[in-house]
Amino acid sequence: MMPSICVFGAGAIGGLLAARLEQAGTAVSIVARGAHLAAVQQDGLVLLSGGERIVTRPHAVPHGDAIGPQDYLILTLKAHSLEPALPQLAPLVGPDTTIVAAINGVPWWYTFGLPEPFGGRRLDSVDPGGALWAALPPSQCLGSIVYPAATIAEPGVIDHSYGDRFSLGEPDGTRSPRANALSGLLIAAGLKAPVRPRIRDELWVKLWGNMAFNPISALTTATLDVITGDPGSRSVAKAMMLEGQAVGEALGVRFAIDVDKRIEGAAEVGRHRTSMLQDMETGRPLEIEAILGAVVELAGWVNVDAPISRAVLALVRQRAAMRGTGGG
């Protein structure tokens, strides 16, 4: 029997996932809103990828109560949008639902299964009050690291520019049947979906760049090539990343590459506007806390001094406050 799958927040990345799964014959529901939802309901979900124009027809609804508890609930929202969405998410989560957190930054479930004294400790920066932990139980969560880049070209149309990997991993490192089953469906849909035994290691390698390049770009409006090519901004990014590495390693993370290689990898992307810069330019809230606030909070937990990261965090928080739309 085919599992029930819902993609919640089916914008660019969620739309890419839903379209690929539908194209491969796996039925998917999506929860979306506004003009994007209306376009999908009327004309289907269109994916532009590799020179192809693919029209798919997922079941598109405005609210989770229209479809009920799912076998897999794939969350592709920005981290700060999760708590406001909890009333809509509640009807989709049953006792056997696997919650796939395809979200940038440090997720609310991060400490689940860690050894003492960190195991089960709530991250105030990403889950103040513990609402996410209660409504989206970490025991039901499956980690996911998102690598593709895509945008909503117009309502109902997803433009996929590069990348096809969605790494998966259980917080406890096991290769579970639920992880294997979802991996198989994503692979059948033409995506790469390795199941990683140490998903936090991969999470940190991606976070490593995001924690530095995203806030620096929001403060300076510089693209990746400028940040990595200018000696001043590059040195600030490297200092932040070394602080982040010290935090991750204190929590048991293994970094498979060194900081200079990670920076060079970012430089090779070229004239790229980070997601935080794009949000800055379009007046959307900045995704600050999961990307940098959590790193600074964790630094306090493990007694790692992170003065550059703290300073940049203070500045980008103020930048968000001054523009009036805030950050989360």
Structural domain contains residue 299: yes
pLDDT tier at 323, thresholds 50, 70, 90: confident
Strand order in the sheet with 45-49: 52-56, 45-49, 157-162, 149-154
Residue 325 confidence (pLDDT): 66
pTM: 0.94
Structural domain contains residue 180: yes
pLDDT tier at 197, thresholds 50, 70, 90: very high
Structural domain contains residue 28: yes
Structural domain contains residue 86: yes
**CATH, residue 279:** 1.10.1040.10
Residue type, 61: V
The secondary structure element, H or E, covering residue 61 is strand 59-61
User: Rounded to whole angstroms, how far apart are CA atoms 79 and 70?
Assistant: 21
Which of 78, 192, 206, 238 is the catalytic position? 206
- Domain end point (choices 138, 168, 196): 196
Q: Are residues 184 and 243 in the same domain?
A: no
Residue 17 confidence (pLDDT): 96
Structural domain contains residue 176: yes
Q: Are residues 207 and 236 in the same domain?
A: yes
Structural domain contains residue 328: no
Residue 297 has pLDDT above 80, yes or no: yes
Q: Are residues 16 and 153 in the same domain?
A: yes
Structural domain contains residue 222: yes
Q: Are residues 58 and 170 in the same domain?
A: yes
Percent of the chain with pLDDT over 70: 99
Residues 71 and 4: beta-carbon distance below 8 Å: yes
**Closest to 146 measured CA to CA, from 271, 13, 328:** 13
pLDDT tier at 326, thresholds 50, 70, 90: low
- 157-162/45-49 β-pairing: parallel
- Domain end point (choices 167, 196, 225): 196
Which is more confident, 227 or 161? 227
Residue 66 confidence (pLDDT): 87
Q: pLDDT digit string (tens) for 5-52?
A: 999 988 899 999 999 999 999 999 999 889 999 999 999 999 999 999
Residue 47 confidence (pLDDT): 96
Q: Are residues 59 and 190 in the same domain?
A: yes
Query: What residues have CB less than 8 Å from 17, skipping those under 6 apart?
Result: 7, 10, 28, 74, 76, 102, 166, 186, 191
Mean pLDDT of the chain: 94
Q: Are residues 123 and 256 in the same domain?
A: no
Q: Are residues 209 and 175 in the same domain?
A: no
The four Cα atoms 9, 80, 251, 166 give a dihedral, to 10 degrees, of 20
Q: Are residues 48 and 173 in the same domain?
A: yes
Q: Are residues 157 and 306 in the same domain?
A: no
Q: pLDDT digit string (tens) for 202-249?
A: 999 999 999 999 999 999 999 999 999 999 999 999 999 999 999 999
- Domain end point (choices 139, 163, 196): 196
Residue 103 has pLDDT above 80, yes or no: yes
**CATH, residue 124:** 3.40.50.720
Q: Are residues 10 and 96 in the same domain?
A: yes
Q: Are residues 107 and 120 in the same domain?
A: yes
Structural domains counted in the chain: 2
Q: Are residues 260 and 221 in the same domain?
A: yes
Residue 327 confidence (pLDDT): 72
Residue 162 confidence (pLDDT): 86
Residue 328 has pLDDT above 80, yes or no: no
Give the burial class of 246: count Cβ atoms within 10 A of its Cβ; 0-12 exposed, 13-18 middle, 19 or more buried: middle
Residue 43 confidence (pLDDT): 95
Q: What secondary structure letter does DSSP report for 155?
A: T
Q: Which domain holds residue 25?
A: 5-196
Q: Would residue 78 show up in a list of annotated catalytic residues for this protein?
A: no
